[in-house]
Structure 1
Amino acid sequence: MPDSPKPSNILIVDDVPTNLTILAQTLRDQGFTVWVATSGNAALKQLAHGLPDLILLDIQMPGMNGLETCAKLKADLRTQDIPVIFMSALSEQANKVEGLSLGAVDYITKPFQEAEVLARVKVHLSIRELTQNLQREIEERKRVEAELAKANASLHRLAHIDGLTQVANRYRFDQDMEQVWRRLQRDHEPLSLILCDVDYFKLFNDHYGHQVGDDCLRQVALAIQKAVHRPDDLVARYGGEEFAIVLPSTHAQGAEQVALGILSKIAELNIPHEFSTVSPQITLSLGIATVIPKSEQSLDGLIELTDKALYRAKEEGRNTYCHHDCSQSPPSLSCSPSPLSLH
């Protein structure tokens, strides 16, 4: 069977013992747990040890009166949300208005009518319970929304980040390229693309093992990222040991500077590759293409040009770059001295 609901706690503050006795007994007969205090100071001290669900507070008391006590309750974060019902023999409108303006929820005039007291107490306890339930629901919803946002961020990351190298994946590359192509076509700005792959990586993997190969790719990806500085540039794993670097609003000379920076960072890694015929350490070959996107051109055409430049760099001896510059007329294909010496 479900547990019985916990009885509500009510604090009565009144300096007249007879009032306390009668009112406390009335509420206890209805199943409430009743606390009593004979002054405002005594009530505040009692609240330091526990918080009631509702306070019945007399206005006319010696020392700290009910209005002063209520002001202190509403100024304290611990007690400001506890509903306060004022009790007084005073019938003047000004006292009621002042009490309600301090944050009290209701007003009961002495002498008490038992049915009225119980009705008002139950109403305000119900309102408090509904308010607390609503606050819990809001907090739970915020927690769920925060967890959902966190999960969505993780899903977004999984969808756009390569799990091995932690750079953008092919899906992210394809998405960004489409957007960049349309933007630069509209703005008549150049777009440079670099495709690069690790020279003789299959031989590296076969002889050093796949775990060493995976670590090599992680280091290569990080080195490429260090050579690419602008926030709008994108480094992505294009597939296998091949990486792509998207350089929006970058002319041919700027793209070649990035390529040289990449080759320099790879050389700094100094990863041994005794089975390479190019160098005793890991090297890259790079293909570059630069275009100013136009409606009669295609994104696939840019990728094809870049891939051809990469193939040409391998023909030139690897550890170098070749560049298709179609941003000028006539288009040109040039290669750096091969192989590059960056040590």
Structure 2
Amino acid sequence: MTPRIRISNTLVLIVDDDLVVQMQLRHAMEKEGYQVMVAGDGKAALDICMNSLPDIVLLDAVMPVMDGFVCCAQLHALDPNISILMITALDDQDSVDQAFEVGAVDYITKPIHWAVLKQRVRRLLQMHWIMKEFQYKVEQEQLVAKITQKIRTSLNLEQILSTTVIEVRKLLKTDRVIVYRFQPDGSGYVIVESVDPKWDSMLGRVYKDTYLSDKCSYKYWKRDVYVIEDINNAGLSPCHIDLLNELQAKANLVVPIELENNIWGLLVVYECSKPRKWAKSDIDLLTQLTYPLIMAIQQAELYQQLEAANQKLQQLANIDSLTQIPNRRAFDEVLEREWKRLEREKAPLSLILCDIDFFKNYNDTYGHQSGDECLKEVAKILHQVAQRPGDLAARYGGEEFALVLPNTNTTGAIYIAEIILAYIRTQNLIHESSQISSYLTLSLGIATIIPQGSCSPKWLIARADEALYRAKLTGRDRYAIHE
């Protein structure tokens, strides 16, 4: 099937120094409905093509400043797919061969046979559009493959969406592409954006009560692709026009991203400089992209759920179920990690072991439920004291607790121990079966070291335990230091 020639969008560049021929060619091309630009020599033609690449070039061979053969070679270097039709009085075989060697795709001699010229131009444009459509199709497939590959290799949704908007803007040669995320209240925000630097960024902006909510628009809620080619001639509501003006948009293309029968968000393409007639291939591309994007969103949400579940499990594995402070496992991990870090930094590490005095008597007197409440209260006090980043209060086992104090020397550890003892005394927790007081008391053992390879965390625990034993031996309700 022969492709339809896109008459109104076809740009023809005429390059000829003969003004009469130039005017004749222009009249003939405009009569066919093509848009026409003219240049009097090869250099002027190159300057035009630097800014606006035509669909076809009608190029004379013999011209001043830069002849057609040199111009043809440079145009071909600028874009190997450009269609160049040489029109010249030269009809020798060498000239014909040279024209094709430098990149011309066809050759006509003067005087011009106008019917033949029109047919040649039409045939070349048909070939041109076939190649353009094929190239665009390949680029589309490459983009979808790239996004799909990104999904397979990355769980970062923002990274996947960012790649999508960047590549879509590049392929469609448009001014702005965004992904808009809906919130439960109908508002939403721009989650990712690719925008030409000359336009304001909308990244992170939150929009409420606009056409992006269900108050002013309806089409994408019906899962339709929403196409606007000119905002001033589309019969839009005032809130819609206001937002598009804020987005500096003259035309846009909106594709809903549907997830589990709900609109998760929108993939939106904006043309900011002028109205734009969107091609079916543009719409097809965005529609095609929604499927891998939905896959990416589902994958990311599942990953987030899994991460949250893993974090919850990790938390449960490291938290003492009774006192809700870190358990022995968490204590061992933190002590090992801080030991290695402070060994590198050659900084002190202190450990305080705490034991509730006569806790067995407390349980026997008040019962195990009261004993559990007592453990919770002591854990709460220790957690409140260990507030510096890196400090850890943990349940060590039974009625015993531990405080890991990184970057803390003996003087600092003594200060913490005195705060703990003072704090527990102010609580006036009754303990009538204690042999040293009518109130609950603690015994504490302190050990400090600058970690080094010849020792280990076990050494520090053993020294703190020795100090705790001495605190108990010398009367309890006190701290002792391992010297």
- TM normalised by structure 1 equals 0.62
Let me know the Cα RMSD of the aligned residues: 3.4
**CA distance change for structure 1 residues 50 and 260 in 2, over 3 Å: closer, same or farther?**
same
**CA distance change for structure 1 residues 100 and 287 in 2, over 3 Å: closer, same or farther?**
closer
* Aligned counterpart, 1:242: 400
Whether the 8 Å CA contact 1:195–1:310 is kept in 2: the answer is: yes
Distance in 2 between residues matched to 1:311 and 1:56, nearest whole Å:
80
Distance in 2 between residues matched to 1:218 and 1:104, nearest whole Å:
70
Instruction: Give the match's secondary structure for 1:289.
Output: strand
* Aligned counterpart, 1:144: 302
Distance in 1 between residues matched to 2:272 and 2:401, nearest whole Å:
73
Which structure has more RCO (C-alpha within 8 Å, separation ≥ 6)?
1
Distance in 2 between residues matched to 1:185 and 1:140, nearest whole Å:
44
**CA distance change for structure 1 residues 161 and 68 in 2, over 3 Å: closer, same or farther?**
closer
Q: Is structure 2 residue 244 aligned with structure 1 residue 75?
A: yes
| Superposition map of 1:103-114 within 5 A | 104-106=277-279
Instruction: Give the match's secondary structure for 1:229.
Output: coil
| Superposition map of 1:233-312 within 5 A | 233-312=391-470
Instruction: Give the match's secondary structure for 2:353.
Output: strand
**CA distance change for structure 1 residues 315 and 138 in 2, over 3 Å: closer, same or farther?**
same
Whether the 8 Å CA contact 1:185–1:294 is kept in 2: the answer is: yes
- TM normalised by structure 2 equals 0.45
Whether the 8 Å CA contact 1:196–1:244 is kept in 2: the answer is: yes
* Aligned counterpart, 2:341: 183
The one-letter code of the counterpart of 2:233 is: N
Give the deviation of 1:72 after TM superposition.
4.8
1:258-304 CA deviation, whole Å, 9 max, x = no partner? 11111111112221111111111111111111222232223222211
Unaligned runs of 5+ in 1: 1-46, 84-97, 107-119, 326-343
* Aligned counterpart, 2:327: 169
1:7-58 CA deviation, whole Å, 9 max, x = no partner? xxxxxxxxxxxxxxxxxxxxxxxxxxxxxxxxxxxxxxxx845446246889
Q: 1:218 aligns with which of 376, 388, 391?
A: 376
The one-letter code of the counterpart of 1:293 is: P
Whether the 8 Å CA contact 1:73–1:80 is kept in 2: the answer is: no
Distance in 2 between residues matched to 1:199 and 1:100, nearest whole Å:
79
The one-letter code of the counterpart of 1:313 is: A
Distance in 2 between residues matched to 1:80 and 1:57, nearest whole Å:
5
The one-letter code of the counterpart of 2:295 is: E
The one-letter code of the counterpart of 1:218 is: K
**CA distance change for structure 1 residues 105 and 272 in 2, over 3 Å: closer, same or farther?**
same
Count residues with an aligned counterpart.
245
* Aligned counterpart, 1:200: 358
Give the percent of matched residue pairs that are identical in Structure 1 and Structure 2.
40
Distance in 2 between residues matched to 1:104 and 1:73, nearest whole Å:
21
**CA distance change for structure 1 residues 131 and 72 in 2, over 3 Å: closer, same or farther?**
farther
Give the deviation of 1:180 after TM superposition.
1.6
Q: Is structure 2 residue 223 aligned with structure 1 residue 65?
A: no
Distance in 1 between residues matched to 2:334 and 2:272, nearest whole Å:
63
**CA distance change for structure 1 residues 81 and 156 in 2, over 3 Å: closer, same or farther?**
farther
Distance in 2 between residues matched to 1:307 and 1:216, nearest whole Å:
22
Give the deviation of 1:241 after TM superposition.
0.8
| Superposition map of 1:83-94 within 5 A | none
Give the deviation of 1:231 after TM superposition.
1.3
Instruction: Report the more deviating stretch, 176-185 or 304-313.
Output: 176-185
* Aligned counterpart, 1:16: none
The one-letter code of the counterpart of 1:211 is: Q
**CA distance change for structure 1 residues 48 and 273 in 2, over 3 Å: closer, same or farther?**
same
The one-letter code of the counterpart of 1:161 is: I
Give the deviation of 1:251 after TM superposition.
1.6
Whether the 8 Å CA contact 1:198–1:242 is kept in 2: the answer is: yes
Whether the 8 Å CA contact 1:199–1:318 is kept in 2: the answer is: yes
Distance in 2 between residues matched to 1:99 and 1:181, nearest whole Å:
59
Q: 2:385 aligns with which of 181, 205, 227?
A: 227
The one-letter code of the counterpart of 2:341 is: R
Distance in 2 between residues matched to 1:198 and 1:311, nearest whole Å:
12
Unaligned runs of 5+ in 2: 1-215, 256-270
The one-letter code of the counterpart of 1:178 is: E
The one-letter code of the counterpart of 1:323 is: I
Distance in 2 between residues matched to 1:56 and 1:300, nearest whole Å:
70
Distance in 2 between residues matched to 1:245 and 1:153, nearest whole Å:
23
* Aligned counterpart, 1:31: none
Give the deviation of 1:125 after TM superposition.
7.0
The one-letter code of the counterpart of 1:176 is: V
**CA distance change for structure 1 residues 74 and 178 in 2, over 3 Å: closer, same or farther?**
same
Distance in 1 between residues matched to 2:325 and 2:338, nearest whole Å:
18
Distance in 1 between residues matched to 2:276 and 2:469, nearest whole Å:
79
Instruction: Report the more deviating stretch, 228-237 or 315-324.
Output: 228-237
Distance in 2 between residues matched to 1:50 and 1:299, nearest whole Å:
66
Instruction: Give the match's secondary structure for 2:482.
Output: strand
